[in-house]
Each structure stands twice: as structure tokens, then as C-alpha cells.
A and B are shown apart, each in its own frame.
Chain A
Amino acid sequence: MILADLLQDQNPWWRDGAIRRVRGYPVRRDLQREILSRVQRLDDRRAIVLLGPRQVGKTVLLLQLADDLLTAGLPPQNLTYFDFSDDRITVEVMAHEVVEAQPVGVVPEYPRVFLLDEIRSAPKWDLWLKRAVDSRVGRIVATDSAARLLRDGSQESGQGRWDELYIEGLSFREFIRLHASPEEDEEARLRLAPNLHERYLALGGFPEYVLSEDFPEVRRRLRSDIAERAILRDLSGLGVDLARIKDLFVYLLQDSGAEFNAEARARDLGADPRSVREWVRLLNDSLLVFPLDRFARGATAGLRSKSKIFAADPGLVTAFASFPIQDPTVRARVFEAAVFRHLREVARDREARLGYYRQREDLEIDFVLEDPRDELVAIEVTSNPRLRADKIERLRRAAKELGADRRILIHGGVLDEQAEGVETIAIQRFLFDPAACLQGGEP
């Protein structure tokens, strides 16, 4: 298919300005609002590169952006969407060709906006993007799923020219939003469906599967889409051993939240420890797993310690678990992955430091959050619905040793319980509004 035809097909608003491509997807993700507002800021020439793993909704977000821009009054001919991974593309398409294919009727008073999906498939895209930003061709939003490739080629060029934004699986609040009726807010829906957090823990935050009742099928598809496709497609071309990366990935998910021992894994995989560390970095760059460093007052002590590696999303833990989700060990890992996913967001927003704490074998805290005001919050997670006195006591002792200002225990019950010196928060309340919980307020 020739480029002009593809562009006409992908931009139906060029022939009829009233057309919207994703009217059937009215729910917006939190990040979508931020990107929309940035695109509309005319004094900002920087491009936006949106990075996230497969299946988290990057394409839908981009198309919603198109719909919203048109609804906000952007002349239809000023908007160009292009998906570089369209399987009808038979000859490589360069990014500049998409920009140069200007439709008739562009209104010069408005900027042109380019929404470029899977930009990695465009050769030398980073050089083009640098020139495009410098020459102010318009407002540009690009997406891709392979963070590593973007960073390798682009870190330097990107300085001052584009902002990298990261999109993960749905937060719990976004998950609820997808269940709500059009006029309903998340809180109202949660009151009508008080155990939605259990579905979130079982299914995870991959939008396509949120409404499914067939949990085993969702897990099967996640295994296939993430392990088979994401790893094989996104990491191919890097000259790495994909089969062993896949094995490592499955291991990391099954052991989500455990300290990572590169030497031991290297022995299991028959590989060099340096390669194994590099593979973990690749998986992290693809936003499929996230490391959590050991918290230490002095930065160097933290660097010497082993990191814990977590699945990026609770759904990945259940999808790859060797046992059913009801198994206490699996459930504990799912809880921790869900809490970590939400803590990461809070830490990013507050520019806070996040780690785990371990002094001795018996003195450990799952998460430690140090915000710029130097408040130190110790956060322990238990999937148990009943609070055990020994667990609370251990948290108190470890927090004292750490010098934490606050102690929080996130638990698997439905009610907030009392425990002296420890704030106990039901998992649902935490996931619903982690920022408010960490501020000590009622969500």
C-alpha cells in the first residue's frame, strides 16, 4: 500500500472532520490529560515520547488524543496520525515522508500535530526527531514499547528536545474507571462493587483484559503476548540470547519481589553473570520488571547491595505463577507488585526515593519512601486479612532501627484496624489513593 493511501486511511478526519476513531473508548487514562495539555501548549516546542510495554494502551491513548484535539478545535488537516507498525507497510517509511505528506487544507494559524505510533520502526527516527523539533515542524507525540532502543540511540539527541513519559499498566483507580458508567466517578463505582481490588489483583492493569470473566484465558494471553511477543519482538536485533532472556523473565516474575542474585541465576541459565545483569537491565528498560534498591542513608552502601526485582504489574505475577492465585505465596507477591506499582507513581510525582530496608535477616521493611522533605516512611505489606501482633512488632522494631518517621502496614483485610504506633491501611484503600494514604489523609 502506498504511503498516501495509508495516511488517508489512518486519518479519516481529513475527508470528514466529524469522524472520531475511538469514540467507543470514552475512558481516559490519567496521563492522557497531561499529554493533551502539553500538546496544546504552543510555547513548548519539545516533543513527547511515550514509552510503555505492550498492551498498556499506548495506541488507544494516541487515538484518544487525536479525538480530543479535533473536538477542541484543531483543524482536521492539521492532525496527522501514523502507525509505523501497520502491517500494510511494504517499504520502510521514513518519518520525514509522513510529515511531508501534507494534506490539502492545513490551516497555517494552527500548529500541525503529529501522532506517531511505534516510531522505532522508522529508520533513523531519532535524528529526524531532533531536526523536526529544531525546525519546529509542529507538535509531536511518539510512542514505542522498547525503551532500551530509544535510549541507546536517543539519549543525547533527546536532551532538551523531547520529554520521555512512561506509561504502565492501569492504576487501580484507572481500572475502576473502566468499569464505571459514563456519568459515574471511581468512588461511586467502588461503593457499588466493593471488591474490585480483588479483580485488579487477579487480572492486573492491562486494559484489554479488564472486563474479562475468564481469568485463565487472560493469563494465557498475557503469557503469550508478553513473554512470546514483547520479548522476542522488542529485544530482537540487539544480539542477545532471546531464549535465555525469556527464561530469566519467567523466573523473575515467578520470584517477583525477591533479591536478585546474578551469579546464582547465571549458573541456572548457563550464562555469564554480566550477561544476566545486562538482560535484567533490558527487561527493566522494556518496563516489564522494575528493580528496587536497598535503602541506605549513604548512597554507596545501597549501591553495594542486591536489588529486589518486581513484576511491573500484578497481572504478570498471576499470569506466570506456578501456583494458583489463592496460594499464599503467590498472593503475597501479587500484593507487593501492586503496591510497588502505585508507590513508583507516588515517588515519581514527589521526586521521592524508594527502596527496601534490611538490617539483619529478621529486620526488614518491604518499602521505604524518603521524600524531599526528609520524611521517612516505612511501609510493610501483608496479604493476610488479619493483623498478626508479631508482624506489627517486627515492623516497629525495624522502623525504629531505620529511624522512620511513620510506619504503615498495608494489609489484605477490608477494614482498617488499630495497632499502636502503626498506621494500618486496607489494600483497597491504599490502591485507590496511595498519595492520600502516604500524606496521612483520608482518600
Chain B
Amino acid sequence: MSDPIPLGKKEGPRLEFKGADALKDPEKIAREVVAMLNAEGGKVWIGLREEDGRAVAVEPIADPESEKGRLLNYLVDTIEPAISNSMVNIEVQDQGQGAVLGVLVGPAVGKPYAFLRKTGRHFVVRVGDRIRPMTREEIFHAADPATSDRLRTSVSKTIEERKEVLAKGEELFWMHFEPAVEVSLDIQDARFEEFLQNPQVTGNRASGWNFSQFQYRPRIRQDRLTTSSEELLKAEIRRDGGLVFSAPLEAFYWKGREENQIWPPLLIEYIVSALRLARAIYQGHVHPGDAVIVDLLLTRLRGWILRPGAPGVWFAANRPRTFTDDDFVLPQPLVFRFEEIESEPDRCGYRLVERFYEGFGIRREDIPNLFDAQSGRLVFPE
């Protein structure tokens, strides 16, 4: 049951009011939500005019359902680690004076949270009815000590492995998954072979671009199941839960007029396919609250080009952007909770795609609109 609109009430550690105008600058709302996620949770009301910290009047929101959808998308896109419905939920309330939005912020796991803007990640926390930046120590200690130890170890492991890939100097797409939890996968599980050979089992499309249609039978090698050396695309499932998906960069070329042009749908679908595979592989082995570190690396990318927008009308006319560094490397691998990968693998994939586009200096609005706004699913019409 929804709370009554708190007219007359005062802002506090778990209550914040914003006027309807805040929807024009959703970053302010994201900042409030993140501050609550890093504290005890609470509720942000949008469409309530506030005077001296007290809600005094309803400022009705026109078309509240659309605004709700837009705001949710914004929060999902800009809060890190990714949020789920159980943590941030937006409701429309209209008790006769016009519609307002209530952003319910639940108690969060996986702290600390940050909101993203051009200048980087911003960690803030709510103290009383105010917000302040988190200190370095607060950020470091936000997670429980055992979890943060495991997280640090797994991140270090991922970064070490990333260094090895970089040192090889090949032209390579490389995605790595590392659960920050002790895992023991049965690499002889017949389902894993099927995941790598039948795309539909993992929710990938048969005619799509994915890491699940290998032509040769995968092989067991020591502690891992790997695709055959005959294959140019590679997948590796390790007993300790590590997953690697890699491909030569030429695999991302798609018949553009220019050489070394990355074809956006292909790149996006490969990334998302890896997330969908990870979901299937980890199910039953990794708990919803466990963290999974995901890294993306494209080595020797200098000179490759990427066009903003989606193939179709005007695509070819959009000015292509050339990658000017040697390698595409995330500043830090991304950390997801498994429940995010389990419930919305495509949305997790989108976050990696977004970072990749940022590497080319391309804005979010110019990423091909292949994700369904409501479900977050990558949708290719079949």
C-alpha cells in the first residue's frame, strides 16, 4: 500500500521533497537516491513544493507514467552498481490534487553506490536531511569487511589477468567474469557444452552474434572447459567460476565501406550474449547477493572507427569516431550483483556498451536504440 502524500511533513534522513521541475534535471534526483542507498534508504517525493524543509503543496506532474519510465531509465543508467526493482521503485500517486512520483529507496546491499556524470563517479551519503560526499574511508569500508576482502581479491585477479592479455599485444576483444565468492563449477556438466553450442538455450538468438554457437566440441583442460583451438572465437568456463569470452577484432568488422569499422549491433550482441551465458552458467552456483566482476578489454584498437547511431536511416552520414588510444580498457572492472545479471543481463551488458561508446567519445543518446526501455532487453526483430 502506498504512503499518503506527506504534505506538511519535514525532510529528514529518510525523506526528501523535490518540485516537479526536478524532472528536468534528473541528476539531482539520482544524487538523492544514491545518498539514501549509501545510508538507510528512504523516499524521494517528486512534485512536492518545499519551504523550509517542509512539503507545502502538490505540483502536479503532467503525463506521470512517461515521466516515471524516463526517470527509471535515467536512474538505471547512471547509478552504479546497477540497481534492481527491489532497491529502487517508482510509484505514481494521485490523491486528488494531481499526480506526484514517489521514489522508494530500499535498504541496499553492495554499497557503496555512485552516480555517474561526465566528471566521473560521485559517492554521496545522506546525513540528516543533507547530503555530503563520502570520504575515502567511508567508501572503502561501506561494504562489509569479508565481502570487500573477497571483492578486492577478485578485482586484483581480474586486473592481473587483464595485464597478461594486454602484454600479448594481439588485436582482441576480451570479456572476463569473476565471481567475488568461492565457486566450484562442475566443468563436466553437459549443460555447459550445450550453452556453448545452442544459443537458444541461453536466450541468445540462433541467427545472432553470440558466444554460443561453436562448431567443435569444447574440451576439458585441467580446471577448465574451453572451446577447441580450431575456433577463432573462444569461450572458457573455469572450475573456480572465472569465465572468458574472446574474439579477434576482425570479428567485429561488418562490411562497412571503411576498413576497421565496428558494426554496432554486432558488438552489442556479443557483449550481451556473454552476460546471458554468464547468467545460465552461474545459476545455482552464485547467490543473488554475490558480486560478480566483469571486465571488458579491446586491445590494439587504435584506428578502429565507430559511428554514432544505429544502422539504418542516416547512419552512414554520421561522422565516424576513431579510437585514438592503443587499447580500450575500463578504468576499473564493473561490479554487478548476481541478481542483476540474473534478472537483467541485457541491462548489465548495456552498461558495458555505454562505457565502450564513451571510449569513442560518443554520448548515450547516440548508442543504437536496440534495448527495450521497459524490460531493458536487447531486442532484434527476428
Tell me, yes or no, whether B259 is within 8 Å of chain A by CB: yes
Tell me, yes or no, whether B24 is within 8 Å of chain A by CB: no
Q: CA separation between A239 and B180, bound complex, in Å?
A: 75
Q: With a CB–CB cut-off of 8 A, which chain B residues contact A195? A: 199, 206-208, 210, 213
Q: With a CB–CB cut-off of 8 A, which chain B residues contact A193? A: 209, 251
In contact, B250 and A184 (Cβ under 8 angstroms): yes
Q: Which residue of A lies closest to B196 (CB)?
A: A414
A215 to B: closest C-beta gap in Å = 5
Q: A194-B214, A194-B231 are in contact. Are A178 and B250 (CB under 8 A)?
A: no
Tell me, yes or no, whether B323 is within 8 Å of chain A by CB: no
Per-residue CB contact flags for chain B residues 315-349 toward chain A (1 = under 8 Å, else 0) read 00000000000000000000000000000000000
Q: A194-B213, A414-B214 are in contact. Are A213 and B255 (CB under 8 A)?
A: no
Tell me, yes or no, whether B232 is within 8 Å of chain A by CB: yes
Per-residue CB contact flags for chain B residues 197-241 toward chain A (1 = under 8 Å, else 0) read 111000000111110011111000000000000011100000000
Q: CA separation between A203 and B207, bound complex, in Å?
A: 10
Q: With a CB–CB cut-off of 8 A, which chain A residues contact B233? A: 192, 194
Tell me, yes or no, whether A108 is within 8 Å of chain B by CB: no
Tell me, yes or no, whether A181 is within 8 Å of chain B by CB: yes
Which among B215, B233, B381 has the greatest number of chain A C-beta atoms within 10 A?
A: B215
In contact, B257 and A194 (Cβ under 8 angstroms): no
Bin the interface of chain B by size. Answer: 20 to 34
Considering the complex, which residues of chain A in the window 156-201 have a beta carbon less than 8 Å from any beta carbon of chain B?
A: 178-182, 184, 191-195, 198-199, 201
Q: A325-B382, A414-B197, A414-B215 are in contact. Are A199 and B251 (CB under 8 A)?
A: no
Tell me, yes or no, whether A243 is within 8 Å of chain B by CB: no
Q: With a CB–CB cut-off of 8 A, which chain B residues contact A182? A: 259
Which among A24, A192, A203, A215 has the greatest number of chain B C-beta atoms within 10 A?
A: A192
Q: CA separation between A213 and B310, bound complex, in Å?
A: 11
Q: With a CB–CB cut-off of 8 A, which chain B residues contact A211? A: 254-255
Q: CA separation between A179 and B209, bound complex, in Å?
A: 13
Q: Which residue of A lies closest to B197 (CB)?
A: A414
Interface residues on chain A, number (Cβ under 8 Å): 31
B377 to A: closest C-beta gap in Å = 16
Residue of A179, A216, A217, A428 near B254 (CB, 8 A) is A179
Q: A202-B382, A214-B381, A385-B198 are in contact. Are A181 and B215 (CB under 8 A)?
A: no
Q: With a CB–CB cut-off of 8 A, which chain A residues contact B254? A: 179, 211
Tell me, yes or no, whether A415 is within 8 Å of chain B by CB: yes
In contact, B380 and A324 (Cβ under 8 angstroms): no
Q: CA separation between A192 and B208, bound complex, in Å?
A: 13
Q: With a CB–CB cut-off of 8 A, which chain A residues contact B312? A: 214
In contact, B257 and A428 (Cβ under 8 angstroms): no
B120 to A: closest C-beta gap in Å = 34
Q: With a CB–CB cut-off of 8 A, which chain B residues contact A192? A: 232-233, 247-248, 250-251
Q: With a CB–CB cut-off of 8 A, which chain A residues contact B192? A: none
Tell me, yes or no, whether B265 is within 8 Å of chain A by CB: yes
B185 to A: closest C-beta gap in Å = 23
Tell me, yes or no, whether B311 is within 8 Å of chain A by CB: yes
Per-residue CB contact flags for chain B residues 85-108 toward chain A (1 = under 8 Å, else 0) read 000000000000000000000000
Q: Which residue of B lies closest to A211 (CB)?
A: B255
In contact, B197 and A181 (Cβ under 8 angstroms): no
Considering the complex, which residues of chain B in the window 11-43 have a beta carbon less than 8 Å from any beta carbon of chain A?
A: none
Q: CA separation between A182 and B259, bound complex, in Å?
A: 8
Q: A194-B214, A202-B207 are in contact. Are A215 and B250 (CB under 8 A)?
A: no
The number of inter-chain residue pairs (CB within 8 angstroms) is 70
Q: A181-B250, A214-B381, A415-B217 are in contact. Are A191 and B207 (CB under 8 A)?
A: no
In contact, B382 and A415 (Cβ under 8 angstroms): no
In contact, A178 and B255 (Cβ under 8 angstroms): yes
Q: CA separation between A203 and B208, bound complex, in Å?
A: 12
In contact, B253 and A181 (Cβ under 8 angstroms): yes
B313 to A: closest C-beta gap in Å = 12
B340 to A: closest C-beta gap in Å = 27
Residue of B207, B250, B311 near A199 (CB, 8 A) is B207
In contact, B231 and A191 (Cβ under 8 angstroms): yes
In contact, B206 and A198 (Cβ under 8 angstroms): yes
Q: With a CB–CB cut-off of 8 A, which chain B residues contact A415? A: 197, 215-217
In contact, B207 and A216 (Cβ under 8 angstroms): no
Q: CA separation between A203 and B312, bound complex, in Å?
A: 17
Q: Which residue of A lies closest to B260 (CB)?
A: A181
Q: CA separation between A191 and B296, bound complex, in Å?
A: 22
A57 to B: closest C-beta gap in Å = 15
B45 to A: closest C-beta gap in Å = 42
Residue of A178, A181, A215 near B381 (CB, 8 A) is A215
Q: CA separation between A270 and B199, bound complex, in Å?
A: 45
In contact, A414 and B382 (Cβ under 8 angstroms): no
Q: CA separation between A194 and B208, bound complex, in Å?
A: 10
Q: Which residue of B lies closest to A24 (CB)?
A: B257
B369 to A: closest C-beta gap in Å = 13
A433 to B: closest C-beta gap in Å = 14
Residue of A191, A213, A324, A414 near B213 (CB, 8 A) is A414
Q: CA separation between A415 and B197, bound complex, in Å?
A: 9
Q: With a CB–CB cut-off of 8 A, which chain A residues contact B206? A: 195, 198, 202, 326
Q: With a CB–CB cut-off of 8 A, which chain A residues contact B208? A: 195
Q: With a CB–CB cut-off of 8 A, which chain A residues contact B197? A: 414-415
Q: With a CB–CB cut-off of 8 A, which chain A residues contact B255? A: 178-181, 211
A321 to B: closest C-beta gap in Å = 12
Q: With a CB–CB cut-off of 8 A, which chain B residues contact A198? A: 206-207, 213
Q: A193-B209, A194-B233, A198-B206 are in contact. Are A215 and B214 (CB under 8 A)?
A: no
Q: Which residue of A lies closest to B368 (CB)?
A: A213
Q: Which residue of B lies closest to A178 (CB)?
A: B255
Q: Which residue of A lies closest to B380 (CB)?
A: A213
B318 to A: closest C-beta gap in Å = 17
Q: With a CB–CB cut-off of 8 A, which chain B residues contact A203? A: 207
A-B contact pairs, 7 of them (CB 8 A): A24-B257, A193-B251, A211-B255, A213-B380, A214-B312, A216-B382, A415-B217
- Extra contacts, 17 of them, besides A181-B259, A192-B232, A414-B213 (Cβ < 8 A), are A179-B255, A181-B250, A192-B250, A194-B214, A198-B206, A198-B213, A199-B207, A201-B207, A202-B382, A213-B311, A215-B207, A215-B381, A216-B382, A414-B215, A415-B197, A415-B217, A428-B215
Which A residues are within 8 Å of any B CB, using their own CB?
24, 178-182, 184, 191-195, 198-199, 201-203, 211, 213-217, 324-326, 385, 414-415, 426, 428
Q: Which 3 pairs from chain A and chain B are nearest by CB?
A: A198-B207, A195-B213, A192-B251
